[in-house]
Copies of this chain bind each other. A is one copy, B any other.
């Protein structure tokens, strides 16, 4: 299948116009090598670990959530050179879908909310809101940890959580938490919880389930959708964060 046609399909899955403004230049075809695409690799990040695996499976295209070059560059660092070398030597094109795939139907956040088993899902800006059987903060945190197979950190003791908002990645931002409040949310699941947010929204149960564990399911799910394409092999490349929790208090 031609790369240009794959791109069209990817743009249907995650329409570029759904992306945040700051993602300009960071989504879409980051590196387009004129090959015919037979094998697609999917992963969360574009780095040398992932690219080596992609090369091993003889992928023609790597689709990631995070782009290869975040801040525009004039010089090529050793880390970037290593990734680029693998991509260029092995003819692996790079495609990135970020906040457009977060918002998209069936994207990062739809997959996340399903994985957590929430019901009566609504869309709230980039995130999703759903309902659960009433439970406490500790119970919800345990459930998240199990469902996403990750250690979690949480704060905000609540006894009767019914409505939960989720955003994969670093979603603990004021604008989203204000939306949570307006929507009478009891708990908020995302990652990279900062001190100032914890202080300002301490009335909610806040569960930090790590960036990787909240976004990775969405990328994994992308594979199944792409496998429906005729004559295309698709493989997911996992790269766990390795984060562990310890508590000796």
Provide the bound-state CA to CA distance between A125 and B192, in Å: 24
Which of A29, A31, A66 has most B Cβ within 10 Å? Answer: A31
Interface residues of A in 10-49 (CB under 8 A from B): 25-26, 28-34, 45, 47
Q: A25-B74, A249-B145 are in contact. Are A244 and B153 (CB under 8 A)?
A: yes
A56 within 8 A of B: no
The smallest C-beta distance from A63 to any residue of chain B, in angstroms, reads: 15
**How near does chain B come to A159, taking the closest CB pair, in angstroms?**
15
List the interface of chain A (C-beta within 8 A of B).
25-26, 28-34, 45, 47, 66-67, 69-70, 72-76, 78-79, 81, 84-85, 88-89, 138, 141-142, 145-146, 149-157, 169-170, 191-192, 194-196, 198-200, 202, 210-212, 241-249
A66 to B207, CA, bound (A): 23
Contact, CB under 8 Å: A151 / B153: yes
User: In the complex, A74 Cα to B30 Cα: how many Å?
Assistant: 7
**Contact with A76, one of B31, B202, B247 (Cβ below 8 angstroms):** B31
Does the CB pair A170–B194 fall under 8 Å? Answer: yes
Given A28-B75, A145-B247, 18 extra CB contacts under 8 A: A26-B74, A30-B74, A31-B75, A31-B76, A33-B81, A72-B74, A81-B88, A85-B88, A138-B246, A141-B244, A145-B248, A151-B249, A153-B246, A195-B210, A198-B211, A198-B241, A202-B242, A245-B245
